[in-house]
Structure 1
Amino acid sequence: MKLYYATGTISIAVAIALEEAGLDYDTHQLHFAAGDQQSPDYAKVNPKGRVPALDVNGTILTETGALLDYISSLAPNLMPTDPIEAAKARSVMYYLASTMHVNHAHKMRGHRWADNEASWQDMTAKVPETMTASAQFVEADCLTGPYILGDTFTLADAYLFMVCTWLPGDGVDLAPFPKLRTFMDAMEARPSVKTIRAKGMLG
């Protein structure tokens, strides 16, 4: 397997998951500032021009949630077998993909939604408010213990961790969120995150 990633992006959730699963993988780093994601060579890998992408024996898989589900199929202990518990974990993953990641993206990718640069500035100015609201939701409705499912780590936690690393840079004060801070500390203590941080992939 080869993971295409960019430092500090959501693709690092997949790297953490691969470490948790104990799977062998290679990496290919893209430098967004240099426009690697828009290059003709990368378009052959992922025409969406985004990360992550995972090359599995020549088959390219994309989208963070799908890759985490694929990894969990290879390491079943990383997602619940109980259908209700699995749905709870995935509901957080889908919230991250559909809402919290989008809130974050408004800070630097307003051109996806509007052509007027003044609109981009409005979107950027709104990010601390929308990301704080997302942090409030995570605190009140997603974390039932150190992790999403109490004491049980799942790959959904890798997804949540990576999104939450963006909060300080998005102007969110973490002081009012003790559960979220406990979660981040628990994740930082995991060998997988320590390995990825040592590799410089978290930025």
Structure 2
Amino acid sequence: MKLYYATGTISIAVAIALEEAGLAYDTHQLDFAAGDQQSPDYAKVNPKGRVPALEVDGTILTETGAILDYVAAQAPTLLPANPIDAAKARSVMYYLASTMHVNHAHKMRGHRWADQESSWKDMTAKVPETMTASAQFVEDECLTDPFILDDRFTIADAYLFMVCSWLPGDGVDLAPFPKIRAFMEAMGARDSVKTIRAKGMMR
């Protein structure tokens, strides 16, 4: 397997899951500042120009949730067998993909939604408010103790960890969110996260 990633992006959630699963993988780092994601070579890998992408035996998988589901299929302990619990974990991932990640993207990718620069600035200014609202939802509705499903780590926790790592940079004060702070501490203590940081894949 080969993981195409960029430092600090949601693609690191896949790297964490791969480490948790004990699966061997190679990596290819993209430099977003240099525009690697828009290069003709990468367009052959993922024409959407985004990360992550995971190459598996010549097949390219894209979209974070789908790739995490694939990893969990190789390591079933990463997603509960109970269908209700599995749905709970996936519901958090879908919320992150459809709402919280989009809120974050408004800070630096306003051109996806509007043409005028004044609109981009307005979207950027809104990010602390929308991300704080998302953090409140995560605090109230997603986390238990300390993970999404009590003390059971799942692929959804890897996803949530990366999204929550963006909160301080998005102007969110974490003081009112004790569950998120405990979750981030628990994640930071995991060997998978320590390994990814040692590799320089995340700050």
Please say if 1:3 is aligned against 2:3. Answer: yes
Q: How does 1:31-110 map to 2 (within 5 A)?
A: 31-110=31-110
Q: How does 1:124-163 map to 2 (within 5 A)?
A: 124-163=124-163
**Matched residue, 1:177:** 177
**Matched residue, 1:118:** 118
* Alignment coverage as a number of residue pairs: 203
User: 2: distance between equivalents of 1:134 and 1:66?
Assistant: 22
Cα displacement (A) at 1:200: 1.0
Cα displacement (A) at 1:144: 1.3
Cα displacement (A) at 1:109: 0.1
**Matched residue, 1:24:** 24
The runs of at least 4 aligned residues of structure 1 exceeding 4 Å deviation read none
Matched-pair identity in %: 84
The TM-score normalised by the length of structure 2 is 1.00
Supply the RMSD in Å over aligned alpha carbons.
Answer: 0.4
Query: 3-state SS of the aligned residue for 2:33?
Result: helix
Q: Deviations over 1:75-131 (max 9, x none)?
A: 001100000000000000000000000000000000000000000000000000000
User: 2: distance between equivalents of 1:130 and 1:170?
Assistant: 10
Cα displacement (A) at 1:145: 1.1
The TM-score normalised by the length of structure 1 is 1.00
Which consecutive unaligned segments of at least 5 residues does structure 1 have? none
Query: 3-state SS of the aligned residue for 1:60?
Result: strand
User: 1: distance between equivalents of 2:147 and 2:70?
Assistant: 21
User: 1: distance between equivalents of 2:118 and 2:202?
Assistant: 31
Which consecutive unaligned segments of at least 5 residues does structure 2 have? none
